Amino acid sequence: MSSAAILAVDGLSVSFPGLRDERTEVLDGVSFDVRRPETVALVGESGSGKSVTALTIMGLLPETARIDGGRISADAKLAMIFQSPRASLNPLVKAGDQIARVVRLRAGESAKRARAEAVELMEAVGIDDPERRYHAYPHQLSGGMAQRVMIAMALAVRPELLIADEPTTALDVTIQKQIFELLGDLQSRYAMSMLLITHDLAVVAETSDRVVVLYQGRVVESGPAREIFERPQHAYTQRLVGSILRADKRVPLTTVEEPV
């Protein structure tokens, strides 16, 4: 573990039950680290293992999963936000109370002080009129607002590393921009590192210092974002970078064959 790393994943292998008696290897010797303070993007497409990596780090793997090898060293408090904010919140508990519960778990505060801190956190994540919104239930929140509540819950832990698993995939692009602006502000304010899990290279370009590319459970390439975009080495990374479409540029649509 290098001196500045606050999270080091070293040779992580994870498997799930497969068909018959065999096990399906989902992660195969995954290694990377996150330093302080930076944003690392864990990039991959469906089935690459990027979400399983995050769940393993957070200790949230389902019981059927097995860690076959490797180690994870974290020298920091971690928190995580998820792709579907409304589905990740408890539908029966007021938004503010969900944040206050995390505050109490962290600090053992009195209910009154936890409530006051929850309101402060709601304000910090840009929720207007937090006193009133405190009493809103998740179904009364828009997707963007629900993700802000999730972020406030994460901040309640006072994390040094935030793991964000596709935090804006379910949101409209104008809301996505607001959420990433908020995360950027919070990172500078609280000196927080971020591990961003995403399939969207455009988002990576706008947010991340370094990139780790996962493909079929293995890290195929990693490095500074600019190098990955400008000089991708591995064939898969080249294909990913080559598939980027830009709204400000027309590219010739010629490749018709389905890549295998």
Partner 1 sequence: MSEPIVNVEDLCKTFHSHGTDVRAVDGVSFAVDPGETLALVGESGSGKSTTARCMVRLTDPTSGRILFRGQDIAALSRRRLRALRRDIQMVFQDPHASLNPSMTVRQTLREPLNLHGGEGAVTEARLRELMERVHLDPNLLSRRPDQLSGGQKQRVGIARAVATRPAFVVLDEPTSALDMSLRVSLLSLLAELQRELGMAYLFITHDLSTVRQLADRVIVMHRGRVVESGAVDAVLDSPSEAYTKALIASIPVPDPSRRQRPQAATA
Contact footprint for partner 1 (CB under 8 A): 4, 35-39, 45-46, 143, 172-174, 176-177, 180, 184, 187-188, 199-209, 224-226, 229-230, 239-240, 242-251, 253-259
Q: Which of residues 15 and 168 has its CB atom nearest to partner 1 in the complex?
A: 168
Q: Residues in the chain, how many? A: 260
Cβ atoms of 27 and 49 closer than 8 Å: yes
> Does residue 223 come out as left (phi exceeding 0), alpha (psi in the -120 to 50 range) or beta?
left
Q: Which of residues 103 and 204 has its CB atom nearest to partner 1 in the complex?
A: 204
User: What is d(CA 94, CA 113) in angstroms, rounded to the nearest whole number?
Assistant: 17
DSSP state letter for 199:
S
Cβ atoms of 196 and 7 closer than 8 Å: no
Q: How far is the CB of 24 from partner 1 (least distance, A)?
A: 16
Q: Which of residues 20 and 246 has its CB atom nearest to partner 1 in the complex?
A: 246
Q: How far is the CB of 168 from partner 1 (least distance, A)?
A: 10
User: What is d(CA 96, CA 142) in angstroms, rounded to the nearest whole number?
Assistant: 15
User: What is d(CA 154, CA 164) in angstroms, rounded to the nearest whole number?
Assistant: 10
Q: How far is the CB of 177 from partner 1 (least distance, A)?
A: 4
Cβ atoms of 62 and 234 closer than 8 Å: no
Cβ atoms of 156 and 120 closer than 8 Å: no
Q: Which of residues 68 and 206 has its CB atom nearest to partner 1 in the complex?
A: 206
* Sheet containing strand 218-224, strands side by side: 78-81, 161-165, 193-198, 39-43, 210-215, 218-224
The CA angle 66-29-71, to the nearest 5 degrees, is 65
Q: How far is the CB of 22 from partner 1 (least distance, A)?
A: 19
Q: Which of residues 93 and 202 has its CB atom nearest to partner 1 in the complex?
A: 202
Q: Which of residues 107 and 245 has its CB atom nearest to partner 1 in the complex?
A: 245
DSSP state letter for 259:
P
CB atoms within 10 A of CB 159: 18
For 255, counting Cβ atoms within 10 Å of its Cβ (0-12 exposed, 13-18 middle, 19+ buried), the class is exposed
Q: How far is the CB of 231 from partner 1 (least distance, A)?
A: 12
Q: How far is the CB of 3 from partner 1 (least distance, A)?
A: 10
Q: How far is the CB of 6 from partner 1 (least distance, A)?
A: 11
Q: Which of residues 154 and 201 has its CB atom nearest to partner 1 in the complex?
A: 201
